[in-house]
Amino acid sequence: MITPMSGLRRILLAAGLLALPTAAPALPAPPAPAVAPAPPAAARAWAEPARQDLVRAGLWAPADADLGRDATRRDLARALRALVPPPADGLAGLPADVPPTDPDAAAIAAAVRGGHIGLRAGAFAPDAPATGRVAAVAVTRALGLGPEMRGLGRLSTADGVRLRVPAGFAAAVLTRELGLRRNVPAAQEWLERADAEPMPLADLLAMVTRARALEPWRLAGTAAYRDITLPAMTPVQRTVVEAALAQVGRPYVWGGDWPTPASPWGGQARGGFDCSGLVWWAFKGAPAASAAGAGRDLGGRTADAMAWEAPRGRVRLSALAPGDLVFYGARGPRTRRGGVEHVAIALGNGWIVQSAGSRAGVTVSSLTGYWPSGVTHARRPAALGAPPAAVPPVPAASAARAR
């Protein structure tokens, strides 16, 4: 569990009386908005095509057009009709706190009876906010991805150790890997929400519309998540891996390296991570990782800076172990200094944990499913142990075989 920084610790940091183990190099400022931030309704007008799509299908009321408001559990039940046809038995299973005369009674009954939306102490609470977590779980269940959710939920190592993951972990991964989530542009990152927060109506309607349009091959591709077993891990490897996994469901934030906006290395628009920020957190920021000294040779704060540290620590892709760093660039193995654009943390057995804009945040991806042509090389930080053998930069042909 991540413990928020105490008020006293923040004061001491601000006064220069308390230092972190290692200060992160400053990043360039993120792109500034060209104009003052737009109100939520205008900033979320991008979802209007999704709303119109549902209106044309008879699944959304034409007059309900406020995309800037937070979605409710009622909205979620109504939107799920796009994925699950209403059953013939009408109001069977309607929760006690929803009267049969409620205009959304049939949709709510269907969502509850189908197991897509759970009750709270026997009540549905239709007008309570729908969090991104609840919405992701509901959509994932409606898509019939129960086996994939169970596989991710029991994530463990070959020696039987169950890894700690956050609530809603499986649905957060699956909705991101299926492309159902949207990354907010850097200039509007003040609008980002973590999965534990209420989901904007714009994001809900877009997620359901994208899910409705999924092709069968995309859904079939998630079958690999049904049975994931990771290699046995040393205590330091497990500390790093669990620190990263704990952030699954956080948004992608440019320059982000902390779960809240109050990063001790410099404030950020919202709590969340960019690719190298997640690595920095997993090795240096999380209390357990910091105590273990996991990031003593991490290098700079950016992916490119990390990529060229400790050349003797390089490992072949075929020998990746939990905690190893995998780097990406547009020229793949031919990428040179200054060209590395992304970094992920290896989980072993062909899996990585990363924060990517294309995935709208922190997720677990297949090594071969995420930008395989962009892999430049991998290295093992010293705290994780010596690599099996120091290797030179991997030639393009060898890298293709390793992938």
Q: Residue ranges of the domains in the chain?
A: 41-229, 231-403
φ, ψ at 326 (rounded to 5°) = -115, 130
Give dist(CA 186, CA 243) in Å, integer.
25
Q: Is 326 exposed, middle or buried (0-12, 13-18, 19+ CB in 10 A)?
A: buried
Give dist(CA 212, CA 82) in Å, integer.
6
pLDDT of residue 85: 82
199-209 as b/e, with b when 16 or more CB fall inside 10 Å? bbbbbbbbbbb
pLDDT of residue 40: 65
Amino acid at 10: R
Amino acid at 102: D
Which token pair is 322?
Answer: 């939990």
Phi-psi region of 203 (alpha: psi -120 to 50; beta: other; left: phi over 0): alpha
What is the longest distance spanned by two Cα atoms in the chain? Answer: 70
Kindly give, in sequence order, each residue whose CB lies less than 8 Å from that of residue 401, ignoring residues fewer than 6 positions away: none
Give dist(CA 383, CA 325) in Å, integer.
12
pLDDT of residue 20: 39
pLDDT of residue 238: 95
What's the CATH number of domain 231-403, 3.10.450.50, 3.40.50.740, 3.90.1720.10, 3.40.50.1100? 3.90.1720.10
Kindly report the length of the chain: 403
Is-contact 197 43, C-beta < 8 A? Answer: no
User: Which one, of 379, 296, 355, 266, lies nearest residue 28 by Cα?
Assistant: 266
Is-contact 194 271, C-beta < 8 A? Answer: yes
Give dist(CA 304, CA 275) in Å, integer.
11
Q: What is the pLDDT along the chain (403 residues), one digit of tens a residue?
A: 333 334 433 333 333 333 333 444 455 445 444 444 555 667 788 999 999 999 999 999 999 999 999 999 999 999 999 999 877 777 888 999 999 999 999 999 999 999 999 998 899 999 999 999 999 999 999 999 999 999 999 999 999 999 999 999 999 999 999 999 999 998 898 899 999 999 999 999 999 999 999 999 999 999 999 999 999 999 999 999 999 999 999 999 999 999 999 888 888 989 999 999 999 999 988 888 887 777 676 777 899 999 998 888 899 999 999 999 999 999 999 999 999 999 999 999 999 999 999 999 999 999 999 999 999 999 999 888 766 544 444 444 333 333 3
Is-contact 127 103, C-beta < 8 A? Answer: no
Provide the 8-state DSSP code for 285.
I
Kindly give, in sequence order, each residue whose CB lies less than 8 Å from that of residue 355, ignoring residues fewer than 6 positions away: 247, 250, 252, 256, 272, 273, 274, 275, 277, 278, 361, 362, 363
Strand partners, 329: 340
CA distance readout (Å), 138 to 133, 149, 194, 222, 248: 9, 12, 17, 17, 17
pLDDT of residue 354: 98
- The number of helices, as runs of H, and strands, as runs of E, in the chain is 15, 10
Which token pair is 181?
Answer: 């989530």
pLDDT of residue 35: 44
pTM for the whole structure: 0.85
Is-contact 375 303, C-beta < 8 A? Answer: no
Beta strands in 184-339, from DSSP E residues, in sequence order: 229-230, 257-258, 272-273, 314-315, 325-329
Is-contact 134 73, C-beta < 8 A? Answer: yes
Residue with tokens 């957060």: 172
